[in-house]
Amino acid sequence: MMHTLFADSFATLGRLDNVTLVMVFHPQYLESFLKTQHYLLQMDGPLPLHYRHYIGIMAAARHQCSYLVNLHVNGFLHVGGDPKWLNGLENAPQKLQNLGELNKMLAHRPWLITKEHIEQLLKTEENSWSLAELIHAVVLLTQYHSLASFTFGCGISPEIDCEGGHTFRPPSVSNYCICDITNGYHGVDEIHASPTGSIPSTESVCEVEALMEKMKQLQECRDEEEASQEEMATRFEREKRESMFVCSSEDEESAPTRDVSRHFEDTSYGYKDFSRHGMHVPTFRVQDYSWEDHGYSLVNRLYPDVGQLLDEKFHIAYNLTYNTMAMHKDVDTSMLRRAIWNYIHCMFGIRYDDYDYGEINQLLDRSFKVYIKTVVCTPEKTTKRMYDSFWRQFEHSEKVHVNLLLVEARMQAELLYALRAITRYMT
């Protein structure tokens, strides 16, 4: 299985990139991911090949992810893209420049997207987008915003033959790469089995036990009584409000380098919590517009087969389990996976009526929430310290699994806002 996946990845990219080497911890997911990537970048579709890579560059640049930007600069040139476009977004065709506004909102504040934004792209006199082209572009933008989250969340560094790539680098706070581990380099701090690089402490072992105990108690409470709809709505609002006060302790502003920032406009525009500055964003209720009932069919209708591929990728990430937690086997982890997924959607203002948001505070501690929010909202600020400080007794493969959940939940949240706006424009 692994050999085939590596061969497929090599055939697609002409190289084995570090993203693949990290994702291979979870072969079932990797297979789905590679299939989707291949379809979006290389198979028949509404957009020409060089546009696809250029949109990948625009999306990755929003999060200052030079790793992905460079990957797609190479892809862009390989399929005959005009090198002049790479001097900056203002050198690209107006049609691509027009996508800049949607790119920045999707990446940082998707809840602000309205049907008017969609109309501007579809109805301009010249350089207008067709609906099918726009769906292709939206899927690419959300895919690469999310992939930037994965790249920073797992500390992925460039390959050895790229600028900044390395075979050996002493561990530091901001630079870590799980692919060093998958490549067999176990660094000074990797000698012990514990992901934090120390002998398992009683404290971190207790952390796992405590988490399992909480899951058991929540299951028992669930069986005994169900909260009222009003109470559930209140708990959602409380969690949404609290999520705004979770912020990275290492919250210094980092100015993007010219190398990356030339690929997008308005470099000062970034993530802002939706209720700051007195702005109220209405809750996005999943029963009014969901991926399963609405988004999936819209994508599949306008860009055949992509809805199917994305749906499979979401399902695999959400349902993936080996029934293990750190050193424990035969554990039902569904409650924990759902809490992580729903917490991310909650940060985006998306609510599931049938979920008790009180469970999130029970299952996700503060250091874990800081990691989740940073990776999902401002991935470029993720540090090794954050990665090490959550779930200290868990395997690297389990932390990569967490990152897959973050990536797919984020992508789906962005897509829901964009597709809802497209639907409203169409009706």
- Given 65, 177, 179, 346, which residue is catalytic? 65
Pick from 426, 407, 421: nearest CA to 142:
407
Rounded CA separation 371/388 (Å): 10
Longest dimension (CA), the chain: 66
CA distance 231 to 211: 24
Q: Which two tokens stand for residue 78?
A: 């390989």
Is 206 noted as a catalytic residue in this protein? no
Give the number of C-alpha atoms closer than 13 A to the C-alpha of residue 276, restricted to the C-beta side: 8
Supply the angle between the helices 396-426 and 115-123 in degrees, to the nearest 10.
70
Please classify residue 54 by burial: count the beta carbons closer than 10 Å to its beta carbon, then call 0-12 exposed, 13-18 middle and 19+ buried. Answer: buried
> DSSP letters of 356-425?
-THHHHHHS-HHHHHHHHHHHH-GGG--HHHHHHSSTTS-HHHHHHHHHHHHHHHHHHHHHHHHHHHHHH
CA distances from 345 to 33, 49, 141, 362, 415 (A): 21, 32, 18, 17, 12
State the Cα–Cα distance between residues 116 and 105, nearest whole angstrom: 13
**Mind giving me the DSSP string for 223-256?**
HH----HHHHHHHHHHHHHHHTT---SS----PP
- State the pairing for strand pair 350-351/328-329: unpaired
Active site residues: 65
